[in-house]
Amino acid sequence: MKQKKSLTEEQIDRVIEMAWEDRTPFDAILVQFGLKEQEVIKIMRREMKTSSFKMWRARVQGRSTKHSKSRSPEVERFKCTRQRNISNNKVSKR
């Protein structure tokens, strides 16, 4: 039987923020939180309004930057500019 991952509210917020970021691939979320793309989609569906989820889903499906394998080899990072304030998966005070 699969064990469910329990995330804090702050971690869920961070996963949602990373999922919205254009340059952050699902692989980065997997590395930091152990969540596969399908699990991220479930979180987004559960935590967002239906219209927001549909908008995000349409946006993600058209983005090659969200999937590491379809990214340009020139893109070697997956950090956004706001991510520099984050260390050890903890969001610092903004």
C-alpha 80/C-alpha 55 separation (Å) is: 21
C-alpha 38/C-alpha 4 separation (Å) is: 14
Instruction: Give per-residue pLDDT as tens, 17-48.
Output: 999 887 788 888 998 899 999 999 999 999 99
| C-alpha torsion 62→28→71→42, nearest 10 | -20
Question: How high is the pLDDT of residue 3?
Answer: 45
Look at residue 18 and tell me if it is in a domain: yes
Question: How high is the pLDDT of residue 24?
Answer: 83
Look at residue 27 and tell me if it is in a domain: yes
Instruction: Give per-residue pLDDT as tens, 47-79.
Output: 999 999 999 998 888 766 666 555 555 555 555
Look at residue 19 and tell me if it is in a domain: yes
Look at residue 71 and tell me if it is in a domain: no
Q: Which domain holds residue 56?
A: 7-62
Look at residue 93 and tell me if it is in a domain: no
Q: How many CA atoms lie within 13 A of 12 on its CB side?
A: 14
Instruction: Report how many domains make up the chain.
Output: 1
Look at residue 35 and tell me if it is in a domain: yes
Q: pTM, whole model, 2 decimals?
A: 0.65
Instruction: Give per-residue pLDDT as tens, 8-19.
Output: 999 999 999 999
Look at residue 34 and tell me if it is in a domain: yes
Question: How high is the pLDDT of residue 82?
Answer: 54
